[in-house]
Chains A and B, each alone.
Chain A
Amino acid sequence: MDVQALRSQIERIDTLPTIPSVLRKLLLIIENPKVSLNEIGSFISNDLVLTSRVLKVVNSPIYGFPGRVSSISQALILLGLNVVRGMLLGVSVFEAMQKTMLGLWEHSLGCAVTARIIAKRKDLKEPEEVSVAALLHDIGKVVLGLKFPDEYKKIMSDAETKENFIFDAEKNHFNINHADAGAWIAQRWNFPRSLVEIIEYHHKPHLSKNVPVQTAIVHLSDILVRAKGFGFAGDNFVPAINSSAWQSLDLSETDVKEILKEMEDSLSQAEDFLLSDE
């Protein structure tokens, strides 16, 4: 299939019958760039499962408001529309994530936690925005897995038997990888330009023009979470770090050690969050 045909197939993913109904409803809302805080708030509040998931995530170590957020409207005020939009998508795709690739949700949460730690260390103004980008960075794997379930299974077993990176196995099969697929769908869903760019370039952070620091942070988070073996992202190898991204982050050895220490606590809390019941 040529790339253009693949892209238009992926962009029509909303029409797939396997898309969970809550996600379908949600897409109608988040695709609209003019949606208001009130509309999102009442949409979430009308869905009990969604409400409890969102509150769980907001009160988890990922967003750093432990036990302090008790309503959706409060979450929207604290985190802002873009973060809540991304988080909603994150919590809605988690079943699809587990179905496509067992461990991908853990990997994504681990990256969200880690990206927030690094973003705070780099004094970024919006650590939550980087964190939500990290939560969604592998959305392309879900999209490919939902759209082409049999082919994606084969790609995964190829990666396993040939001991390849998952992005190489994807590329061998589709001529594109999950970062491309993720960027297409994020664009189609009218996600902010910065989020699209982070998803598109999380394996090639030097290509990011508008948000190079944020992209480098998600790139490093992915590497650290895989290095620690938290979750599963499609293969059991740590990808190489991009030299210019690494240099641009300018982290000292002490910084890295401190990040690893903070990850210890936050990942165990994230694990607890993952294991806790609905």
Chain B
Amino acid sequence: MLKVSVNNLKPGMKLAKPVINEAGIMLLEESTELTAALIDRLQNMNVSSVFIEGASKPQKSKEEIMLEIDARFRKTENEPYMGMLKRMLKEHVEELYK
């Protein structure tokens, strides 16, 4: 899933999530395929971005994220269970970058 600004939408993209306006009303259903006309309408309806199907990649590099995790766990990683939690989080990040 990828968050895309309405200005960068292309016909043929498919919604990964329904589009909901500020009043909480659903404008477009999930898995709607966007057409030029729908994109026009979204741009006129004050919607800033929508979720499009497809894998999303975290923006930071994996190495950067791992270093940040190390820094955040620095004070407590030797406490009970904390080493384990840290390992699980790092494995989770590895998965995201596969």
State whether A257 touches B79 (Cβ < 8 A).
no
Please measure, in the bound complex, the distance between the C-alpha atom of A241 and the C-alpha atom of B25, giving whole angstroms.
40
Chain A positions 179-195 with a Cβ under 8 Å from a chain B Cβ: none
Binding site for B on A (CB under 8 A): 52, 55-56, 58-59, 66-70, 163, 165, 223, 226-229, 236-241, 243, 246, 253, 256-257, 260-261, 264-265, 268-269, 272, 275-278
Interface size counted on chain B using CB atoms at 8 A = 34
State how many angstroms separate the Cβ of A102 from the closest Cβ of chain B: 18
Please measure, in the bound complex, the distance between the C-alpha atom of A228 and the C-alpha atom of B58, giving whole angstroms.
12
Closest 3 CB pairs of A and B: A240-B79, A67-B26, A59-B24
State whether B91 touches A257 (Cβ < 8 A).
yes
State whether B56 touches A268 (Cβ < 8 A).
yes
Please measure, in the bound complex, the distance between the C-alpha atom of A107 and the C-alpha atom of B32, giving whole angstroms.
32
Given contacts A237-B74, A256-B88, contact A70 B25 (CB under 8 A): yes
Interface centre among B56, B74, B76, B86 (most CB of A within 10 A): B76
Nearest A residue to B72 via CB reads A238
Please measure, in the bound complex, the distance between the C-alpha atom of A227 and the C-alpha atom of B66, giving whole angstroms.
11
State how many angstroms separate the Cβ of A273 from the closest Cβ of chain B: 10
Give chain B residues whose Cβ lies under 8 Å from the Cβ of A58. 24
State whether B76 touches A256 (Cβ < 8 A).
no
Given contacts A52-B22, A58-B24, A227-B73, contact A257 B85 (CB under 8 A): no
B49 within 8 A of A: yes
State whether A278 touches B18 (Cβ < 8 A).
no
Chain B positions 9-23 with a Cβ under 8 Å from a chain A Cβ: 17-18, 20, 22-23
Nearest A residue to B60 via CB reads A229
Please measure, in the bound complex, the distance between the C-alpha atom of A142 and the C-alpha atom of B24, giving whole angstroms.
28
State whether A257 touches B92 (Cβ < 8 A).
yes
Nearest B residue to A53 via CB reads B22
Please measure, in the bound complex, the distance between the C-alpha atom of A165 and the C-alpha atom of B79, giving whole angstroms.
15
A68, A70, A246: the one contacting B81 at CB < 8 Å is A246
Please measure, in the bound complex, the distance between the C-alpha atom of A236 and the C-alpha atom of B18, giving whole angstroms.
35
Chain B positions 49-98 with a Cβ under 8 Å from a chain A Cβ: 49, 56, 68-69, 71-76, 79-82, 85-86, 88-89, 91-92, 95-96
Give chain A residues whose Cβ lies under 8 Å from the Cβ of B86. 227
State whether A226 touches B72 (Cβ < 8 A).
yes
Binding site for A on B (CB under 8 A): 1, 3, 17-18, 20, 22-26, 46, 48-49, 56, 68-69, 71-76, 79-82, 85-86, 88-89, 91-92, 95-96
Given contacts A227-B86, A240-B82, A256-B85, contact A56 B76 (CB under 8 A): no
Please measure, in the bound complex, the distance between the C-alpha atom of A59 and the C-alpha atom of B85, giving whole angstroms.
31
State whether B20 touches A228 (Cβ < 8 A).
no
State whether A56 touches B24 (Cβ < 8 A).
yes
Give chain B residues whose Cβ lies under 8 Å from the Cβ of A165. 75
Please measure, in the bound complex, the distance between the C-alpha atom of A229 and the C-alpha atom of B22, giving whole angstroms.
28
11 contacts between A and B (CB under 8 A): A55-B22, A58-B24, A66-B18, A226-B72, A227-B73, A227-B85, A240-B76, A241-B82, A241-B85, A260-B89, A272-B3
Nearest B residue to A54 via CB reads B24
Interface centre among B24, B49, B72, B88 (most CB of A within 10 A): B24
State whether A67 touches B96 (Cβ < 8 A).
no
Please measure, in the bound complex, the distance between the C-alpha atom of A258 and the C-alpha atom of B48, giving whole angstroms.
30
State whether B49 touches A272 (Cβ < 8 A).
yes
State whether B18 touches A241 (Cβ < 8 A).
no
Given contacts A237-B76, A256-B88, contact A52 B23 (CB under 8 A): yes
